[in-house]
Amino acid sequence: MTESAREPTQQVATAREAFEREFERFAPFWGGVSANSLTLKQAEHLARELTELRARHTGKKSAIASCKKLIGRVAAEDRASFGQLVQQTEAGIVKSLDEAEQALKHFIETARVERESIDVTLPGRRPRPGHLHPITLMRQRIEDIFVSLGYAVEDDREIETDFYNFDALNIPEGHPARDPQDTFYTTDGFALRSQTSTVQIHAMQRRGAPVRMIAPGRVFRRDTPDPTHNPMFFQVEGLCVDRGITMAHLKGTLAEFVHRLFGPETKTRFRPSYFPFTEPSAEVDYSCFKCAGQGCRICKFSGWIELGGSGMVHPNVLRAASVDPEQLTGFAFGLGIDRTCARIYQLDDIRLLFENDVRFLGQFS
Ligand SMILES: [Zn+2]
Question: What is the CA(128)–ligand 1 centre distance, in A?
Answer: 36
Q: Among residues 96, 98, 67, 97, which one has the least CA distance to residue 5?
A: 67
Beta strands in the chain (DSSP E): 152-153, 159-160, 191-192, 211-220, 232-242, 268-275, 278-287, 304-313, 329-336
Give the DSSP per-residue string, 314-343.
PHHHHHHTT--TTT-EEEEEEEEHHHHHHH
CA 313 and chain centroid, separation: 41
Cα–ligand 1 centroid distance for 189 (angstroms):
44
Backbone φ, ψ for residue 279 (5° rounding) = -160, 115
Phi, psi of 196 (to 5 degrees): -75, -5
Residues in CB range of 295: below 8 A, 6 or more apart: 288, 301, 302, 303
Torsion of CA 253, 254, 260, 266, to 10 degrees: -130
- Measure 356 CA to ligand 1 centroid, in angstroms: 28
Distance from the alpha carbon of residue 14 to the mean position of ligand 1, in angstroms: 98
How many Å lie between the centroid of ligand 1 and the Cα of residue 347? 14
Ligand 1 centroid to residue 306 C-alpha, Å:
12
Q: How far is the CA of 182 from the centre of ligand 1 (A)?
A: 32
Q: How far is CA 38 from the centre of its chain?
A: 44
d(C-alpha 273, C-alpha 284), whole Å: 10
The phi and psi torsions of 176 (rounded to 5 degrees) equal -60, -25
Radius of gyration of the chain (CA): 43
Calculate how far, in angstroms, residue 228's C-alpha sits from the geometric centre of ligand 1.
18
| pLDDT tens by residue, 34-82 | 656 778 888 888 889 999 999 989 888 888 888 888 888 888 888 888 8
Q: Is the pTM of this model over 0.75?
A: no
Neighbours of 242 (CB within 10 A): 14
Q: Look at strands 304-313 and 329-336 and give their pairing.
A: antiparallel
Whole-number Å distance, alpha carbon 231 to ligand 1 midpoint, is 28
Cα 305 to middle of ligand 1, angstroms: 8
| 351 CA distance to ligand 1 middle (Å) | 22
334 C-alpha to center of ligand 1: Å? 22
- Residue 223 and residue 194: Cα distance in Å, rounded? 11
* CA 291/CA 298 separation, integer angstroms: 9
List all residues 6 or more positions away from 64 whose beta carbon is below 8 Å from its beta carbon. 12, 15, 19, 57, 58, 86, 89, 90, 93
Ligand 1 centroid vs 346 CA: distance in angstroms?
Answer: 11
- Whether residue 77 contacts residue 41, with contact meaning beta carbons closer than 8 Å, is answered with no
User: How does DSSP assign 160-172, residue by residue?
Assistant: E-HHHHTGGGT--
Q: What angle do CA 159, 163, 168 make, to 5 degrees?
A: 120
Distance between Cα 287 and ligand 1 center (Å): 8
Question: Which residues neighbour 307 within 8 Å (Cβ) at sequence distance 6 or greater?
Answer: 254, 258, 268, 284, 285, 286, 335, 340
- Mind listing the pLDDT tens digit of every residue in the chain (365 residues)? 667 778 888 888 998 999 988 888 877 766 666 656 778 888 888 889 999 999 989 888 888 888 888 888 888 888 888 889 989 999 999 998 888 888 888 888 888 888 887 777 888 888 888 899 999 999 999 999 999 999 999 998 999 988 888 888 888 888 888 777 788 888 888 889 988 989 989 999 998 889 999 999 999 988 888 888 889 999 999 999 999 999 999 999 999 999 999 999 999 999 999 999 999 999 999 999 989 889 998 888 999 999 999 999 999 999 999 999 999 999 999 999 998 988 888 888 889 999 989 889 888 87
